[in-house]
Structure 1
Amino acid sequence: MDKLFGTNGVRGVFSEDFTLEFVHDLVLAISTYFKEGRILVGYDGRDSSVVVSKLVCSTLNYAGLDCHLAGLIPTPCLEFATKALGYNGGIMITASHNPPEYNGIKPVASDGVEVSREDEKVIEDIFFKKNWKHNSSTWGSTKNDDRAVQTYLDGIKSQVDVSKIKSRKLKVVLDLGNGAQSVTAIKLCEQLECEIITINREIDGSFSGRGPEPTPYNLQELSSAVVKNNANLGIAFDGDGDRSIFCDNKGMLLSGDKSALLLSNYLLKKNPNSKVVTCMNSGNSIDEIVTQTNSTVIRTKVGSIEVSRKMITENALLGFEENGGFMFGKHNHVRDGGMTLALLLELLASSNKSMSEELATLPPSFTTKDKISCKKEDADKIISKLLAEFPSADTTDGIKIIFDKKNWVMVRPSGTEPIIRIYAESDSEKNLETLMKEYTQKIKSFLDR
């Protein structure tokens, strides 16, 4: 094994492959990469996160680095506070949307963005060669830092028209998913004088309400609550609060692509001649949106780090993933569920239309995705078989089979779980269903052989 990092950080099943010994060695490697402190440490609500945070802080101190503990906060809060409060780096303890038995670590650079793929390789090289700091002559210290939450909320509010949002008294349903956004999203809505209805509010390491990943299959309670309470919108967060799935005023759940189109259309009109970065598995309707404002789209491999780091080099205004990760460059070049919520509240406060009416003005977009349990070696075989059938397909990231501009299928192994993901876009709901069914069956037939 010569690789630790997946699509997003280092993750594993706590006490199995993500052991305390492994965490200790990994943090020694990260400490050596950082060279010096202060390092800000935060964690999500998983049952193992508190003990992991104690080990992370003590290992940083053993390596001679000072660290400050921000406590239980969302990932984008840790990232923004790392930048805004002048830390040399950050470490977020989270496994994001993975099942409860998982945990993980995301190292964050001083610019508030997860370290680059190149820097991940540096950390991996230090780890596998055990070329890390030993027995520092001066041990570091650990202190608490309770500034992160309000620093983060103030940062979000500085990017939107607060008085306009307050004047509308918008009604919002928050499905907090028993996750870390319970710490910040409620306060954000209160400070924006919204009326709030909450679901799955209690932080719970087992994510007993609906699980840590918001999907169309587990958000029916959110949809019903929006309709029942005549709310302006609903929003569901993932376990560490960096991704958000929206529900319009009629209870319709939006894909990440659809909410990104809505926000991009609004923000690009305010900021023409801008750049938008998104992944290869996002739909093509964004290409129609950008042409209206003389803006451009740049595509990357799948993964928030790929998008974030490309946003920085391109000085892009916006970035997004199809999974509900939306990035606003003026705030921070990372996906941020809280910032995304505030932007959509501003959009609605600035409009005389409801959210469903705003969505009706967008170009049609029909995208979907699914996943199949699959070992890494089987995923490689599936992609090889598809490539043999479609030799001209794009293999930049998994395999993307493009039939025409509006019809394609993409298959890639997950970088965080033993599954293979299937993405598709088509020119109608019916054709999308047919396309997805055909390729799901094809992949399952490969696995059965």
Structure 2
Amino acid sequence: MTAELVMRLGAAAGRYFRRDQQEHRVVIGKDTRLSGYMIENALTAGFTSTGMNVLLLGPIPTPAVGFLTHSMRADVGVMISASHNPAYDNGIKFFGPDGFKLSDEAETEIEAILSKGVTLAAPENIGRARRIDDAMGRYVEYVKTTFPNKLRLDGLRVVLDCANGAAYRAAPNVLWELGAEVIPVGVSPNGHNINSDCGSTSPEAAARKVRETRANLGICLDGDADRVIILDETGAVADGDQIMGLIASNWAREGRLAGNALVATVMSNLGLERFLNSQNIGLERTAVGDRYVVEKMRAEGFNLGGEQSGHIVMTDYATTGDGLIGALQFMRSMVETGKSASQLTQVFDPVPQILRNVHFAPGKAPLATDCVQAAIAEGEKRLGAGGRLLIRKSGTEPLIRVMGEAEDQALLDAVITSICDAVSSVS
């Protein structure tokens, strides 16, 4: 992603949203990657060249961009982040004026404008850029409103791993202001260490810190803070499925679970589905990706959804996954029930599940080959009705993700290994 391409993309998006001569604005946030400086400047040049006024938020979580896009009456919001990916990657997420991510159709239109070339504004009509110094404070204050006024986090010792990412200042401030004793991890970003041996994809350091400090729980966010996983007092990991199961059962009991159902992806564990059924709560499955979860929620009126990876989407509070708000919902249960983290994270017994990633070379298409298709067919036959497979290409990295579930762990391992070997042989 070059500066030139990003500038042209900003201009195309600016032209898409600025369809008349009225004043228009865009808010831009970023995580802590070194390349964020380059991309931020290039986007600013592109947007202002079409007459859009740019409001720069600085390092801030992805959900804050969605919130502030709507709050500041902007026409579009942009988050510069590659989420949980390594520092050498980067990406751009667009939000519409309602604070929700743009649809596939809108992004296709922007791409069409990009390919045709953009008509720039006249010199006297170019936009201005300014920094919003209190953007993080606005988000911090909003996040605190999602936690009941009558409750505090006094007495909770919390290890908080911010992945050296976008929430490295906001998240510790929220928990401290609500009364928790915060033990920070991953709060020293240098442009290169985002998600490096820390955060929701690498919780080992936080788990060690939980045990060393005898903390009540650990919270691990990812680089742009739209994901969360919880560590109990022993350092054991609870993924998004367990957190969603807890919140869904709490909200159903309180009569606030819209549609009496949770929206999750095909990756969510069969154990979650069985637990929800036992609570007379429905489970609506979608394709992998928080975008598809949110689309399903908005189309059918659900207010809770997410992914096993830790995206927890609560449309009562946010327009996208918000790791910090998800963590507060979990801690609310701790405060209200007096139960330990380990008592609350074991909502259901997961069915054995294996997920492996296999790299493939650029230009290759392993899933289209006969040998991989044959291995998948054989695996499905061996697992039968008691198991399932989900094989897909990653949307962000050159990986084939191979996932399977079955009660028989040994059989499952053999099937997954066979498919991964087949993918490797043509990669």
Say whether the fold is shared (TM-score over 0.5). yes
| Aligned match for 1:180, one of 140, 161, 166 | 166
The answer to whether the aligner puts 1:244 opposite 2:224 as a matched pair is no
Distance 2:381 2:294 in 1: 25
Q: The residue matched to 2:320 in structure 1 has which SS?
A: strand
Structure 1 residue 78: Cα displacement: 1.1
Deviations 1:9-39 (A, max 9, x none): xxxxxxxxx1111011111111122226211
Structure 1 residue 385: Cα displacement: 4.2
Distance 1:206 1:237 in 2: 17
Structure 1 residue 154: Cα displacement: 2.8
Counting only pairs closer than 5 Å after superposition, residues 38-437 of structure 1 correspond to structure 2 as 38-135=25-122, 138-166=125-153, 168-207=154-193, 210-211=196-197, 214-215=200-201, 218-270=202-254, 271-272=256-257, 273-375=259-361, 377-381=363-367, 385-388=371-374, 403=383, 407-427=387-407, 430=410, 432-437=412-417
Identity %: 27
Distance 1:380-1:433 versus aligned 2 partners, 3 A rule: closer
- How many pairs were matched up? 421
Checking the alignment, whether the CA contact within 8 Å between 1:64 and 1:137 is kept in structure 2 is: no
Checking the alignment, whether the CA contact within 8 Å between 2:194 and 2:223 is kept in structure 1 is: no
Distance 1:266 1:401 in 2: 39
Checking the alignment, whether the CA contact within 8 Å between 1:284 and 1:405 is kept in structure 2 is: no
Checking the alignment, whether the CA contact within 8 Å between 1:42 and 1:71 is kept in structure 2 is: yes
Paired AA for residue 237 in structure 1: L
Paired AA for residue 327 in structure 1: V
Structure 1 residue 391: Cα displacement: 6.3
Distance 1:209-1:140 versus aligned 2 partners, 3 A rule: closer
Distance 1:112-1:173 versus aligned 2 partners, 3 A rule: same
RMSD: 2.6
Structure 1 residue 252: Cα displacement: 0.6
Checking the alignment, whether the CA contact within 8 Å between 2:10 and 2:45 is kept in structure 1 is: no
Checking the alignment, whether the CA contact within 8 Å between 1:238 and 1:244 is kept in structure 2 is: yes
Distance 1:132 1:370 in 2: 46
| Other-structure match for 2:17 | 34
Checking the alignment, whether the CA contact within 8 Å between 2:33 and 2:194 is kept in structure 1 is: no
The unaligned stretches of length 5 or more in structure 2 are none
Distance 1:283 1:371 in 2: 18
Distance 2:199 2:62 in 1: 15
Distance 2:381 2:69 in 1: 40
| Other-structure match for 1:9 | none
Distance 2:195 2:299 in 1: 40
Paired AA for residue 232 in structure 1: N
Normalising to structure 2: TM-score of the pair? 0.90
Structure 1 residue 49: Cα displacement: 1.0
Structure 1 residue 378: Cα displacement: 2.9
Q: The residue matched to 2:151 in structure 1 has which SS?
A: helix
| Other-structure match for 1:21 | 4
| Aligned match for 2:420, one of 421, 440, 443 | 440
Structure 1 residue 427: Cα displacement: 2.3
Checking the alignment, whether the CA contact within 8 Å between 2:376 and 2:419 is kept in structure 1 is: no
Q: The residue matched to 1:421 in structure 2 has which SS?
A: strand
Q: The residue matched to 1:299 in structure 2 has which SS?
A: strand
Deviations 1:124-156 (A, max 9, x none): 111122255454651111122234323322332
The unaligned stretches of length 5 or more in structure 1 are 1-17, 394-399
Structure 1 residue 294: Cα displacement: 4.0
Structure 1 residue 46: Cα displacement: 0.7
Checking the alignment, whether the CA contact within 8 Å between 1:213 and 1:238 is kept in structure 2 is: yes
